[in-house]
Structure 1
């Protein structure tokens, strides 16, 4: 947008050194951003490593980065310094869908009266949400955005593909760098410390129960224990938690994995720990085979497609967040 370029400072200085594993917040900047408008952040980090351990990006409109050609292009208002070629998962100059380096959250003032944070794994991140559409969190955000401004809540997506809900070695990467710290270790930074957080939606546990090359399948008790810890810590901060049931995983009906998934879902539905329940399992499972996502909603055994995400986003009861669903649907 013409005239929207702002220079970030850090304690009044134009540059900052971020220690490994550390986090730095810039000074506030005056900038008006309309609802649903994209925001670009340009950073110049000479000599900083660009290495990526993420899963392939969600579709069709993921958060993304443009890696520039050589030199400082932070004040460029055009695209000449940013090659448009889709580079996918790499560190070459060009467009990188689903890859975000260094910048992880933007905090600002809003007429919304609070924030809903979705804490999860690839099914929140949006991996394989293919077929034309958005993630369930985007569908939820549009529904909430249809409410009058004074009743709206912001929706923040804190999903990381491959993430686990319990403290354990990551099943896919022993370094853990691909998939972020386990949910209890990133809870404050990624969820509870976000501005105005009032509600948390927890959709995690599939990676724990499924296991992988670097970690065996976790028992239901470990997943349930982690969920209890997360809810207790959120409640201590005055944040309500909605538990989302785990979707089918194509595990055999008589397998330990499927038994553990059913046990976790039973805990979510009836354990009395969560402030509300989003029964995602019931929304997408195949009535003829409850161990599988129904064909119309399935991208693969673990992930719904865009139609599945749309069904999940529409099925969420806005009353879970203290919102009037009827007014929102009428406005939409």
Structure 2
């Protein structure tokens, strides 16, 4: 968990603090139908935020995150430059770096505004309890000292760091990231090779006024697989439309049980998350057991609610060519549950957005890349 400390102290691991947002969370859907099954609940207005904990400058909330389920081992120092789009205005920043199942050494880390073409400006060096170098233990987040930096909504920033050892990474998307051999994190222009995976950085948080922050707990669909570019993933499209952070807490291949096992690490420990969209179930349809999925999803919704996070659901999209008749019936029964349950604050009807109205077991042309994962056009619909 994370919590705010006294003024100017930033965050620390393993304590829980939550807030509720002011904004109305509205999911944009394509082709909403008129039947009772397809009708969405009205948007729900969150309760007022109330006291921000006495912090004179606001509170830290996450603006970018990655579950980092994979790893690579680096024998020689390597530098990464990782751009991201910020959707949280504020004036102070803190980052969490994460080691995987074996240790790594973070040799140097910098933060600045991303200009493009591997270039940053206004970069500042990060410290860790005053030190510029830190060891990353296996599975333990390491927080940098909070630092002043003006953060504007919709602008691009970049984390640059060099490391050696076991460095965690995320999915591969075409984007603006770079890597290069050597300790080059401080260089204004990094001349390296395209590197489109997230590496090492668990989350970036910004201190400012309290706002809505949505995490997506999902599988490879939530992680954005088959989107051509990182900014075409539905989480990126959604945050630009909604105007607040929508952050990645998804791992490819996850079913409900595996996602529940990492709920603490990948959602509860993100600072200031107010809402969570649960996008799970497609990898459990082979069980052909609606009760298993409904029980697991209900558990997820309840645990989120108990942690002070508003739960939302995504209906399960068609999976043409991958399901038996019993598997398809399971998908439909679970979707009926998700559209009617009072355990959640609302749902995003991914099924309705993607499916073929004339054949609900199939997707509309151009929506799925492989019968499972949305194309970039499909992500835009979600």
Does the alignment pair 1:300 with 2:376?
no
Does the alignment pair 1:128 with 2:246?
no
Match of 2:248 among 157, 168, 173: 157
- Provide closer, same or farther for how the CA distance between residues 27 and 131 of structure 1 changes in structure 2, counting only shifts above 3 A: closer
TM-score (norm 1): 0.72
Per the TM alignment, residue 265 of structure 1 is displaced from its structure 2 partner at its CA by: 1.2
Gaps of 5+ in 2: 1-112, 114-119
Contact 2:322–2:371 (8 Å) recurs in 1: no
Deviations 1:225-266 (A, max 9, x none): 221121111111221111110000115776222122122212
CA distance in structure 2 between the partners assigned to 1:79 and 1:101 by the alignment = 16
Match of 1:66 among 178, 188, 198: 178
Per the TM alignment, residue 311 of structure 1 is displaced from its structure 2 partner at its CA by: 1.7
The number of residue pairs the alignment matches comes to 264
RMSD of the TM alignment (CA)?
A: 2.5
CA distance in structure 2 between the partners assigned to 1:133 and 1:237 by the alignment = 30
Per the TM alignment, residue 3 of structure 1 is displaced from its structure 2 partner at its CA by: 5.2
- Provide closer, same or farther for how the CA distance between residues 227 and 51 of structure 1 changes in structure 2, counting only shifts above 3 A: closer
TM-score (norm 2): 0.63
Aligned ranges 1:203-214 → 2 under 5 Å:
203-210=279-286
Does the alignment pair 1:78 with 2:189?
yes
Contact 1:121–1:204 (8 Å) recurs in 2: yes
Query: Which structure carries more relative contact order (alpha carbon 8 Å, separation 6+)?
Result: 2
Contact 1:284–1:308 (8 Å) recurs in 2: yes
Contact 2:279–2:314 (8 Å) recurs in 1: yes
Contact 2:230–2:236 (8 Å) recurs in 1: no
Per the TM alignment, residue 184 of structure 1 is displaced from its structure 2 partner at its CA by: 1.1
Q: Displaced runs of 4+ in structure 1, greater than 6 A?
A: none
CA distance in structure 2 between the partners assigned to 1:132 and 1:45 by the alignment = 23
Per the TM alignment, residue 65 of structure 1 is displaced from its structure 2 partner at its CA by: 4.2
Contact 1:118–1:201 (8 Å) recurs in 2: yes
Match of 1:14 among 132, 142, 149: 132
Per the TM alignment, residue 21 of structure 1 is displaced from its structure 2 partner at its CA by: 2.0
Question: What corresponds to 2:242 in structure 1?
Answer: 144
Contact 2:162–2:183 (8 Å) recurs in 1: yes
Does the alignment pair 1:96 with 2:195?
yes
Aligned ranges 1:210-221 → 2 under 5 Å:
210=286, 217=287, 219-221=289-291
Question: What corresponds to 1:49 in structure 2?
Answer: 166
- Provide closer, same or farther for how the CA distance between residues 16 and 130 of structure 1 changes in structure 2, counting only shifts above 3 A: closer
Per the TM alignment, residue 51 of structure 1 is displaced from its structure 2 partner at its CA by: 7.4
3-state DSSP class of the match of 1:104? Answer: strand
Larger strand fraction of residues: 2
Match of 1:269 among 334, 339, 347: 339
3-state DSSP class of the match of 1:201? Answer: strand
Contact 1:252–1:291 (8 Å) recurs in 2: no
Larger helix fraction of residues: 1
- Provide closer, same or farther for how the CA distance between residues 108 and 132 of structure 1 changes in structure 2, counting only shifts above 3 A: closer
- Provide closer, same or farther for how the CA distance between residues 279 and 161 of structure 1 changes in structure 2, counting only shifts above 3 A: same
- Provide closer, same or farther for how the CA distance between residues 65 and 22 of structure 1 changes in structure 2, counting only shifts above 3 A: farther
